[in-house]
Amino acid sequence: MPDAARPPRHVLILGGTTEARRLAATLAPEPALRVTTSLAGRVAAPRLPDGEVRIGGFGGPEGLTRWLREHAVDALIDATHPFAGTISFSAARAAATAHVPLLALRRPGWVPVPGDDWHQVTSLDEAAAALPGLGSRIFLTTGRMGLAHFAHLTDPWFLVRSVDAPEPPHPPRMEVLLDRGPFTVEGERALLRAHRIDVLVTKDSGAAATAAKLTAAREAGIPVVVVGRPPVPDGVPMAANPDEAVKWIHAVTAPLSARPVHTEPIGFPHPLD
């Protein structure tokens, strides 16, 4: 039973992912917790999670630090997209400054299997540089925000899939497909055939919702350019799924007398080992 004399512990989730919504759905009904999810506001009609929701940026690490202090946040979860690198580093700086425990919730990345023809790169610029030698009809699934990296490629034809319509700059020969996962292997097979795709470009976002394209590309013998993830800030503990994150939250928001003993610095407890 929660302590009636103690206000609910405030958990801030930096969200926008399926894992963030699952985490909020699990935590929001708990009377001992107050759950707020922050969304960047880049999607016109986001799927709203359970609990309280705020939309918009914080104004860098300094703005996030102020928000953590003004709203008495007891635990911070970075459950943003694996490629949302800027907010992750802002979260690490803000959490350290405000002395708020921080956890990064990151789904596991994809792993190639026999039959895959993967070309692994470290950036969108490297992905664009790899395309001229691989094919001419490209299925680009890296999101609308990164199209400028491919805008100089005038010869290839691009099929661009995104949730919202992209804005310039973008490749001159391009068709836009507005859609949101999860996607099926059957649907991805049909898409590759209908558009005569001979190269797939994707970020290593992980998860099953968008992995069907990898299976379809492998079956069709299509090369895949895979952009690797940016690193998680040093010193930040990680959880691979919402269940691990729930255990961490319960540990760091429990009364001091009920907490397990840890050897990690108090600013970044890590009870998941």
Q: Residue 47: its pLDDT value, please? A: 80
Q: Residue 207: its pLDDT value, please? A: 76
CATH code at 9-108+231-258? 3.40.50.720
Left, alpha or beta for 137 (phi > 0: left; psi -120 to 50: alpha)?
A: beta
Residue pair 253/33 in contact by the 8 Å Cβ criterion: yes
Q: Residue 265: its pLDDT value, please? A: 38
Q: Residue 220: its pLDDT value, please? A: 97
Q: Residue 206: its pLDDT value, please? A: 87
Amino acid residing at 140: L
50 CB-near residues (< 8 Å, 6+ apart): 21, 24, 25, 28, 29, 35
Amino acid residing at 60: G
pTM for the predicted model, two decimal places: 0.80
Q: Residue 2: its pLDDT value, please? A: 52
Where exactly does CATH 3.40.50.720 map onto the chain? 9-108+231-258
Mean pLDDT by 10 residues, the chain (273 residues): 72 94 96 95 78 94 97 97 88 97 94 95 96 95 92 97 91 94 94 98 86 96 96 92 97 66 39 32
Q: Residue 244 is encoded by which pair of tokens?
A: 């691990």
Amino acid residing at 35: V
CATH code at 118-227? 3.40.50
Q: Residue 270 is encoded by which pair of tokens?
A: 């890590």
Q: Residue 5: its pLDDT value, please? A: 64
Closest CA to 139 of 152, 122, 127: 127
